[in-house]
Amino acid sequence: MLVHTAFDRAEQVARHWAAAGCPIVFHADKAVPAKTYNAFVKKLSDLPDVRFAQRHRCEWGTWGLVAATQSASEVMLQEFPDVRHVYLASGSCLPLRPVQELIDYLVDRPHTDFIESATTADVPWTIGGLDQERFTLRFPFSWRKNRFLFDRYVAFQRSVGFRRKIPNGIVPHMGSQWWCLTRQTLSAILEDPERRHYDRYFSKVWIPDESYFQTLSRLYSRQIESRSLTLSKFDYQGKPHIFYDDHLQLLRRSDCFVARKIWPYAERLYRAFLTDQAGAMSRTEPNPGKIDRIFAKAVERRTRGRPGLFMQSRFPVEGRENGLTCAQYSIFEGFSELFENFESWLAKMTDMRVHGHLFAPDAVEFSEGQQVMNGALSNNAKLRDYNPKAFLASLIWNTRGERQCFQLGPRDTFKKIEWDIAKDPNAQISVITGAWAVTLFKSNANFSDIRREAARLQQIESKHLEVLRSQWAKARIRIWTMAEFVEAPMEPLQRIIDEIGKQ
């Protein structure tokens, strides 16, 4: 058992193992102050089958962890000749099933080594883009404390084409550092005449604790099951996920033998699993599927997030949004000018929510004249124009599950958001050019006013069409002239509605 903090928990777990008759060898990080360490040793002095290995300094990703494991394993094999399987655990590991079940499980499989061990080609999980290279470069600098030198030195070795020779043609394997090996395999590794050779090589490998035993066990094992008996999940930065009290049911149903890492203050977990449940679980094979899913989801949320959501801890730069909006929506330009009661007709034909001109200059025209919409979105035009991008993204986000649709025209204030809409693949934009003239024609204004207004709208529209026709536009855009459309109106309309219905 490797420990470096939370010694009271380590002690608690150790007593649990010991109660089932398992001898234990501890390794404590050399960085632990002597006072703490001595108190720990003293506390465990009443247990007969407990030993303490020579201490090494263990820093993440360095050789120290392997050296620690070697020393502790040697003590174990020497002092306890009856031991058949050796289980490598840490102070934050917690046995989930009665220890006797684990013992029975191993007795049934006397020659099997449980060690996750795969070649770099087999597995995608590598941190920092170092997979094969972790075996062919040198890593004298700490990744945690000296990231700059670490990166520089890797880059330097790459540029000069430096490659280390892998000794004796062993094939590097990687996997979880928490294994359970048989005496034969473990002693063969430790007593290998070439061991000094291997040790020197692996001491400069990147994260050797995930490759030393994983590689060498391949040389000697009679039968390897390439999986760890310890349930241990890592996130996208390579640090282990932590289990808390609220994971109790999840852990119970996982049927795994041991889990890590457990938060030291997770009182309920320790209480639940360390009081023997008298074989409460009868199934034999571990089944961590559900836990896998939960952690995979968490990683995805951290790396990809929820598309179309802008919030306090997700504010993507342009181009990294995975979409400005979270769902598809439709924009109609010129339709409500050309057809009377277009909006109510459209609402009847489809099950969309049909708004009026959302970007009308005076007020937002929500459907049914509502003053506030989903999400308490106000119809105040100033509030909307203050940040129209946030307005649209919020509207689509707030109404997830119901397709939105709104009218747009050259009279609206859409300048600030024009490009965003055109570039949004979720937008379906249908335009009848020149339809704005209809309302103008029907108005009873003076001729010169109409002409001035027409010139203005014409200009806005042509600029808008330029945007829609640009090569960067990603929305599904259809443009008709008024003449084209009036000639055969039903066919294009049907096409649009069919497309909406399909989603």
Extract the runs of DSSP E, i.e. beta strands, from 236-321: 258-260
Single residue of 31, 386, 455, 486 touching other proteins by CB under 8 A: 386
Alpha-carbon distances, residue 300 vs 208, 236, 308, 393, 398 (angstroms): 28, 9, 15, 21, 22
- Residue closer to other proteins, measured from CB, 332 or 359: 359
Single residue of 372, 445, 455, 486 touching other proteins by CB under 8 A: 372
User: Quick check: 265 binds other proteins (CB under 8 A)?
Assistant: yes
Q: How many CA atoms lie within 13 A of 109 on its CB side?
A: 18
User: Quick check: 289 binds other proteins (CB under 8 A)?
Assistant: no
The answer to whether the beta carbons of residues 328 and 503 sit under 8 Å apart is: yes
Query: Which amino acid is located at 163 in the chain?
Result: R
User: Quick check: 60 binds other proteins (CB under 8 A)?
Assistant: no
The answer to whether the beta carbons of residues 198 and 167 sit under 8 Å apart is: yes
Single residue of 376, 401, 441, 498 touching other proteins by CB under 8 A: 376
The answer to whether the beta carbons of residues 297 and 304 sit under 8 Å apart is: no
Distance from C-alpha of 58 to C-alpha of 202, rounded to nearest angstrom: 15
User: Quick check: 20 binds other proteins (CB under 8 A)?
Assistant: no
User: Quick check: 125 binds other proteins (CB under 8 A)?
Assistant: no
Single residue of 375, 459, 469, 484 touching other proteins by CB under 8 A: 375
Single residue of 311, 442, 498, 502 touching other proteins by CB under 8 A: 311
Single residue of 191, 244, 416, 474 touching other proteins by CB under 8 A: 244
* Non-local CB neighbours of 99 within 8 Å, separated by 6+ positions: 16, 17, 19, 20, 22
Q: Find the binding residues for other proteins in span 181-200 (CB under 8 A).
A: none
Query: Segment near other proteins (CB under 8 A), from 36-44, 123-131, 169-177, 369-377?
Result: 369-377
Distance from C-alpha of 467 to C-alpha of 422, rounded to nearest angstrom: 7
User: Quick check: 322 binds other proteins (CB under 8 A)?
Assistant: yes
User: Quick check: 34 binds other proteins (CB under 8 A)?
Assistant: no
The answer to whether the beta carbons of residues 114 and 182 sit under 8 Å apart is: no
CB of 198 to other proteins, least distance (A): 31
User: Quick check: 241 binds other proteins (CB under 8 A)?
Assistant: yes
**Cα torsion for 479, 482, 484, 487, to the nearest 10°?**
140
Single residue of 275, 282, 312, 448 touching other proteins by CB under 8 A: 312
Q: Is 372 helix (H, G, I), strand (E, B) or coil?
A: strand
Burial of residue 166, with CB atoms counted within 10 A of its CB: 0-12 exposed, 13-18 middle, 19 or more buried: middle
User: Quick check: 471 binds other proteins (CB under 8 A)?
Assistant: no
User: Quick check: 31 binds other proteins (CB under 8 A)?
Assistant: no
The answer to whether the beta carbons of residues 363 and 438 sit under 8 Å apart is: no
198: phi then psi, degrees, rounded to nearest 5:
-65, -45
Query: Segment near other proteins (CB under 8 A), from 83-91, 210-218, 297-305, 484-492?
Result: 297-305
CB of 414 to other proteins, least distance (A): 17
Single residue of 145, 196, 320, 442 touching other proteins by CB under 8 A: 320
CB of 202 to other proteins, least distance (A): 26
- Residue closer to other proteins, measured from CB, 151 or 191: 151
Chain centroid to CA 456: how far?
50
Q: How far apart are the first and last CA of the chain?
A: 55
User: Quick check: 263 binds other proteins (CB under 8 A)?
Assistant: yes
- Residue closer to other proteins, measured from CB, 284 or 380: 380
- Residue closer to other proteins, measured from CB, 395 or 437: 395
User: Quick check: 290 binds other proteins (CB under 8 A)?
Assistant: no
Distance from C-alpha of 404 to C-alpha of 215, rounded to nearest angstrom: 57
- Residue closer to other proteins, measured from CB, 32 or 467: 32
**Contact residues for other proteins (CB under 8 A)?**
235-237, 239, 241-242, 244-246, 263, 265, 294-295, 297-299, 301-306, 309-317, 320-322, 372-378, 380, 382-383, 386-387, 390-391, 394, 397-398
